[in-house]
Copies of this chain bind each other. A is one copy, B any other.
Amino acid sequence: MNNQKTNKAVSRATLERLPKYYAFLAGLLAKGREVVSGTKISQRFGFDPTQVRKDIEAAGGQGRPRIGFEIRPTMLAIETFLGWNNTNDAVLVGAGYLGAALLGYEGFAGKGLNILAAFDKDPARQKQINGKTIFDMDRFEDLVKRLGVKIGVICVPAKDAQSIAELMIQAKIKAIWNLTPTHLNVPEDIIVEDADLSSSLSILSGRLAAKNK
């Protein structure tokens, strides 16, 4: 239940790299490979080999000196560590362009996220996308509580994000995937993960601006 293996919190950076290794391993497996060295993985991405070994170790993977890492068990370790084979139900609020894109995307299931339903205050959007019903906001709290959903995805306009976050917390949601540029103020026990395209774009344009200086 609580921290069996003195799990020293793994860094965000590691959590970002593990899925990359996973994809690479999947590719090798498809080609019939069974084993790969950390060095090979590191070369693929331009990372330091030590970092790759540490990341995999943090995920619970184990290699054999002189041999390398067995691909199957390593992939399983990553899946388990990232919670991919322990799918969590989620609800989405805001079925605009981006919300629709997320509802239409099939790939999340393999990463532990199952969007059950969506909500939007605009009646014109209260239809179905990809077999998922978009309900009126009125029904949010009741439905989310009854379903016991613990993850909320926010795709509303920036100015509405904070109030939707508060509504989610009231409905007992514990983790928020925030796709807006708004910084959410939430209690400490709520997990917020920002996936802000605008912020990524700012970094790109900042890097370009720095280069052209």
Contacts and interface: CB of A to CB of B under 8 A. Distances in A.
Q: Is the interface of A mostly helix, strand, loop or mixed?
A: helix
B83 A203 contact: no
A183 interface: yes
Interface in A171-205: 175, 177, 179, 181-183, 191, 193-195, 197-205
Interface in A64-117: 80-84, 86, 88, 97-98, 100-102, 104-105, 107-108, 111-113
Interface residues of A, number: 65
B107 A97 contact: no
Interface string A153-187: 00000100000000000000001010101110000
A31 interface: no
Contact of A198 (B1, B19, B100, B199): B19
Interface of A: 1-4, 7, 9-10, 12, 15-16, 18-20, 23-24, 44-45, 80-84, 86, 88, 97-98, 100-102, 104-105, 107-108, 111-113, 151, 158, 175, 177, 179, 181-183, 191, 193-195, 197-213
